């Protein structure tokens, strides 16, 4: 497979081929009709082709599902044909697009047996081979906007595009229509729009593989682009190029990571040059772009379909104190299932049989009732498959209670650090847990309405559902407790030693990068089955992070792996995860990757990981039981230098 060698980038202008709703005719994008196998105008093939084409455009075709196949004749003159309409389009638009292409195909490809015609709205394909249910990535075409993303934003943009598209791909692959479109915040009013689609006759694995290849070929240095192959396509742009109101709220992404794409090769590619009247188009582009940006802004202001459940209101969340008392046997000791930094947690059953976890907040928060309610509503709107859902709250005098969905399998630490239970978490399970935690945090950090920094991410805050999928607990607590969210510097440290980044533990500076640090520690714990903050190794390392760093530098990272899973693990995955873990715990917060990058690193093994640098570390003189009290008397030390000399070169005291 000669990779992208023969691939030509077509510089088109995205808006020229975008939703111009008023235009009746579909927008032509590209076609592939290799000249190698032809038929003559009066042949059996021609007759069969006409049968197939009229069947595609007949009333019998399923325009509502957007995908249809038809066949006619016997080999070697058998013709198989399909159409695929873009997932957001109505059956009417789909029908007229197909009718148009069917009419158009013999002009563009008069006597070719194998044809793929791409239009913005739909794709028609036919061949003398039966290509149904077969992954086909031949004849790819890349379309790029001509405008570059400004260089100082290039990395962030690429991360956003790749993470958005990767998530969309995962959702599309596991949906029945094999389609997903979504929006993500870029800057200010400007949003990124992404769309992915496979032909629905593919399996989840094939669709995922196809999209991964397609996404890897996207021109992420431009403000918009697409990559199209017969089996799938992906596209991003900075304006809504699909019908937003036809795209329903995306379901939370599945935990399972898409299968690794193999070699991302695009073989026999048709080389086509399109001459574009550049100057005219540039002017048109600027005008069009401004118009669309304005429109995007306007649409954005009213669009709420990506924001989850908007019917969440104070009224729908507020529960009566009597209900809570009845559910928990009046906070009976036997119902108590845990004690966290913010209060005791009780198991309970509501009158309708719903099992819940009830958190009785230990200290009254520093804010009034109205603010408390507001924050609860905001946090309740954060809904993601990898987050424990907040179902309601209750206020009674000083008493403040939060009601969560009940997650049956306790927390990750319960399994991970118990020699009797560790074996229940084999490598593939642990790998899925890592991916799920990353997706949960990415949602908190950037995909939800609010930017939530967790600040206390640790194994005991990762709950496991009946299928051992991870669900992050205790997010948004700083908000509910009325802690300052805007100030990036805080004197009230919420966190757990062993998971806190040095800059947060020592200086109270928190950011998304401090969550990343905690995530890195968690990854190393999941791999090793050892706790970071109660780690004693005879060879001198006092904590898991330095131990992992030492092994890494020794070239023996696999020694970190929990012996119980060491025999049966995917070594490349494990090493990659250790690598990611070490990138996350680097001393300099700027060097730590963002979560979207991490998700990408986890899902695509074609991404090259940077070399990790010295991790940031500190030791505690005392482990604060109550996170809220943890600022009491703590000595933190920064360990610089390698594990071998274990020299503490810098000491900070708070």
Q: Is 456 a catalytic residue?
A: yes
Q: Which residue has the tokens 């190029």?
A: 241
- Interface with ligand NAG by CB under 6 A: which range of 243-251, 392-400, 595-603, 646-654? 243-251
Residues 255 and 385: beta-carbon distance below 8 Å:
yes
Residue 188 zone, left/alpha/beta (φ > 0; ψ -120 to 50; rest) = left
* Torsion angle of the four alpha carbons 215, 219, 220, 221, in this order, in degrees rounded to the nearest 10: 170
Q: How many residues bind ligand NAG (CB under 6 A)?
A: 22
532-591 residues near ligand NAG, rule: CB under 6 A: none
Question: Residue with structure tokens 């008069």?
Answer: 110
Q: Across-strand partners of 635?
A: 653
421 assigned to a ligand binding site = no
Which among 496, 416, 419 has a CA at the least distance from the CA of 464? Answer: 416
Residue 187 binds ligand NAG (CB under 6 A): no
Nearest approach, Cβ of 171 to ligand NAG (angstroms)?
A: 15
- Quick one: DSSP state of residue 447? I
Residue 227 is a binding residue for ligand NAG (CB under 6 A)? no
Which residues between 303 and 322 bind ligand NAG (CB under 6 A)? 306
Looking at beta carbons only, is 246 or 646 nearer to ligand NAG?
246
Secondary structure of residue 339 in the 3-state scheme? strand
Minimum separation from the CB atom of position 122 to ligand NAG (A): 13
Ranges assigned E (strand) in 490-618:
none
| Interaction mask 358-377, ligand NAG, x per CB under 6 A | --------------------
In whole angstroms, give the CA distance from residue 272 to residue 506. 59
CB closer to ligand NAG, 54 vs 606: 54
Binders of ligand NAG in range 100-139 (CB under 6 A):
100, 103, 132-133
37 binds ligand NAG (CB under 6 A): no
Judged by CB under 6 A, which of 22, 60, 152, 176 binds ligand NAG? Answer: 60
Site string for ligand NAG, 2-31 (x = CB under 6 A): -------------------x----------
The Cα–Cα gap between 518 and 478 comes to: 16
Residue whose pair of structure tokens reads 């582009």 in the numeric block: 285
- Phi, psi angles (nearest 5°) of residue 447: -95, -10
CA 631 remoteness from chain centre: 35
**Catalytic residue of the set 159, 456, 465, 562:** 456
**Nearer of residues 72 and 345 to ligand NAG, judged by Cβ:** 72
Q: Does residue 69 belong to the site contacting ligand NAG (CB under 6 A)?
A: yes
Q: DSSP secondary structure string, 91-111?
A: HHHHHHHHHHHHHHHHHHSTT
- How deeply is 139 buried, as exposed, middle or buried, from its count of CB atoms within 10 A (0-12, 13-18, 19+)? buried
Write out the two tokens for 599: 């998700």
Instruction: Choose one: 206-214, 240-248, 259-267, 462-470; the region binding ligand NAG (CB under 6 A).
Output: 240-248
Q: Which is nearer to ligand NAG, 97 or 583 (CB)?
A: 97
Of 6, 35, 64, 606, which lies in the binding site for ligand NAG, with binding defined by CB under 6 A? 35
Cα radius of gyration (the chain): 28
Looking at the Cβ atoms of 103 and 554, the one nearer to ligand NAG is 103
Pick from 327, 193, 204, 202: nearest CA to 250: 193
Q: How far is the first Cα of the chain from the last one, in angstroms, to the nearest whole number?
A: 59
Among 246, 282, 284, 326, the residue binding ligand NAG under the rule CB under 6 A is 246
Q: Nearer Cβ to ligand NAG, position 201 or 456?
A: 201
Binding residue for ligand NAG, selected from 120, 121, 159, 201, defined by CB under 6 A? 201
Cis (ω within 30 of 0) for the bond into 76? yes
Residue nearer to ligand NAG on the CB measure, 245 or 313: 245
Binding site feature residues? 359
Q: Which residues are catalytically annotated?
A: 456
Could you list the residues that contact ligand NAG (CB under 6 A)? 21, 35, 40, 42, 54-55, 58, 60, 69, 90, 99-100, 103, 132-133, 185, 201, 243, 245-246, 306, 449
């Amino acid at each position: 497979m000669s990779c992208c060698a023969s691939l030509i980038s077509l510089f088109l202008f995205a808006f020229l081929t975008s939703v111009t709703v008023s235009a009746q005719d579909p927008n032509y994008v590209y076609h592939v009709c290799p000249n190698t196998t032809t038929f003559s105008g009066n042949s059996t093939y021609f007759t069969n082709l006409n049968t197939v084409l009229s069947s595609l455009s007949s009333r019998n075709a399923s325009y509502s599902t957007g995908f249809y196949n038809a066949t006619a004749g016997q080999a070697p003159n058998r013709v198989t044909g399909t159409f695929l309409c873009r997932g957001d389009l109505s059956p009417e638009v789909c029908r007229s697009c197909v009718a148009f292409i069917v009419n158009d195909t013999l002009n563009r490809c008069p006597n070719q047996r194998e044809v793929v015609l791409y239009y913005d709205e739909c794709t028609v394909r036919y061949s003398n081979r039966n290509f149904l249910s077969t992954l086909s990535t031949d004849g790819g075409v890349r379309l790029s906007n001509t405008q570059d993303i400004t260089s100082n934003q290039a990395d962030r943009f690429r991360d956003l595009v790749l993470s958005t598209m990767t998530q969309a791909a995962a959702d599309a692959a596991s949906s029945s229509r094999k389609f997903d479109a979504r929006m993500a915040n870029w800057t200010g009013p400007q949003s990124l729009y992404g769309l992915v689609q496979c032909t629905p006759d593919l399996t989840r694995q094939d669709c995922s593989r196809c999209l991964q290849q397609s996404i890897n070929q996207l021109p992420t240095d431009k403000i918009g682009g697409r990559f199209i192959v017969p089996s799938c396509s992906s596209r991003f742009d900075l304006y809504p190029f699909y019908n937003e109101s036809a795209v329903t709220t995306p379901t939370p992404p599945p935990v399972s990571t898409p299968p690794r794409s193999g070699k991302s090769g695009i073989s026999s590619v048709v080389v086509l040059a399109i001459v574009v009247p550049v100057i005219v188009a540039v002017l048109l582009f600027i005008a069009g772009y401004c118009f669309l940006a304005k429109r995007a802004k306007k649409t954005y202001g009213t669009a709420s379909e990506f924001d989850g459940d908007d019917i969440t209101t104070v009224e729908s969340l507020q529960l009566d104190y009597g209900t809570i008392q009845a559910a928990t046997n009046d906070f009976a000791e036997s119902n108590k299932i845990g004690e966290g930094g913010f209060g005791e947690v009780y198991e309970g059953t509501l009158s309708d049989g719903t099992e819940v976890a009830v958190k009785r907040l230990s200290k009254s928060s520093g804010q009034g009732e109205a603010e408390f309610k507001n924050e609860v509503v905001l946090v309740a709107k954060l809904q993601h498959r990898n987050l424990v859902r907040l179902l309601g709250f209750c206020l009674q005098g000083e008493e403040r209670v939060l009601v969560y969905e009940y997650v049956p399998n306790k927390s990750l630490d319960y399994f991970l650090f118990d020699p009797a239970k560790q074996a229940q978490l084999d490598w593939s399970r642990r790998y899925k847990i890592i991916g799920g935690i990353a997706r949960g945090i990415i949602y908190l950090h950037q995909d939800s309405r609010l930017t939530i920094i967790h600040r206390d991410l640790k194994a005991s805050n990762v709950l496991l559902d009946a299928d051992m999928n991870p669900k992050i607990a205790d997010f948004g607590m700083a908000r509910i407790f009325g802690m300052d969210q805007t100030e990036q510097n805080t004197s009230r440290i919420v966190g757990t030693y062993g998971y806190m980044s040095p800059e947060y533990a020592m200086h109270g500076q928190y950011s998304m990068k401090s969550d990343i640090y905690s995530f890195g520690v968690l990854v190393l714990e999941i791999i090793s089955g050892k706790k970071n903050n109660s780690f004693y190794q005879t060879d001198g390392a006092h904590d898991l992070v330095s131990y992992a760093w030492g092994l890494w530098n020794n070239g023996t990272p696999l020694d970190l792996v929990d012996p119980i899973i060491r025999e049966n693990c995917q070594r490349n995955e494990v090493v990659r995860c250790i690598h990611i873990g070490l990138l996350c715990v680097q001393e300099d917060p700027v060097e730590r990757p963002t979560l979207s990058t991490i998700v990408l690193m986890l899902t695509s093994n074609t991404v090259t990981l940077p070399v990790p640098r010295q991790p940031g570390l500190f030791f505690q003189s005392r482990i604060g039981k109550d996170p809220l009290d943890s600022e009491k008397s703590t000595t933190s030390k920064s360990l610089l230098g390698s594990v071998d000399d274990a020299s503490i070169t810098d000491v900070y005291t708070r």
